[in-house]
Amino acid sequence: MSTTIDPRAAVEEGAQIGAGCIIGPFAVIGADVVLGPGCEVGAHAVVQGPCQMGEANRIFPFASLGTAPQDLGYRGESTELRIGSHNTFREFVTINRGTAKGGGVTRIGDHNLFMAYCHVAHDCQIGSRVVMANAATLAGHVAVEDDAILGGLSAVHQFARVGTHAILGGGTMAPLDVPPYMMAAGNHANLHGINVRGLARRGFSRDTITQIKRTYRLLFRSGLRLEEAMEEVARRGWNTPEVERLLSFIRASRRGITRP
């Protein structure tokens, strides 16, 4: 695999470019950047460091990855952006490094799609197979679990979480945690039931989806306090891995849970 670097690109000394990478015209690669094999950096894109990424990532023109965090408390500390493999960053995507007070690392998993104009702020932790549609925005310290989908122009408040297989509708403003498997929409966000179609598409069995539906109704539609409802779920023996994950997510919440 041969590496191709356009002569008009600016690759600083110290950057490590993997085999088979393609660096387009006027791209800028910083000294503390490590690109894995087969990565593609489009024209005018910027990758600053410290930034380390795996293989076969595609960075489209004018994207900006690994720049300093937009945090008034940042004082130039050495922080990082770590990216897995097979991610796509479309035009004008911006992703910042971490901050010292937030753990120092912004982290992105594998096989994610960031459509044009998305923003991922400092110290965010993003899993794998996440889709952020055009102009979706994450404030600092946000966690997005595997297989979540964020609709266009949606935004997630700092320190909030989006659970696995959750979906946020376009334009959603999410100040609180959005539980796994749920659909949320609105400003401010409300839950609108289970992401049934998405779960079925991803191979969840009918029995599993039914169990999640029953749990949702008990948690959010029964009139019980949330703590009482979770105890009732346990008493009824609804203990599939998916239900357990949902309950664990709720118990771990610090910002509070989005509700119907």
Looking at the annotation, which residues are catalytic? 122-123, 140
Give the residues across from 28 on adjacent strands: 10, 46
Other CB atoms closer than 10 Å to residue 189's CB: what's the count? Answer: 25
Q: If you search the block for the tokens 């309950």, which residue do you land on?
A: 247
Distance CA 248, CA 235 (A): 16
Per-residue b/e over 235-251, b at no fewer than 16 CB within 10 Å? eeebeeebbebbbebbe
* Residues constituting the chain: 260
Instruction: Find the angle CA(81)-CA(86)-CA(88) to the nearest 5 degrees.
Output: 75
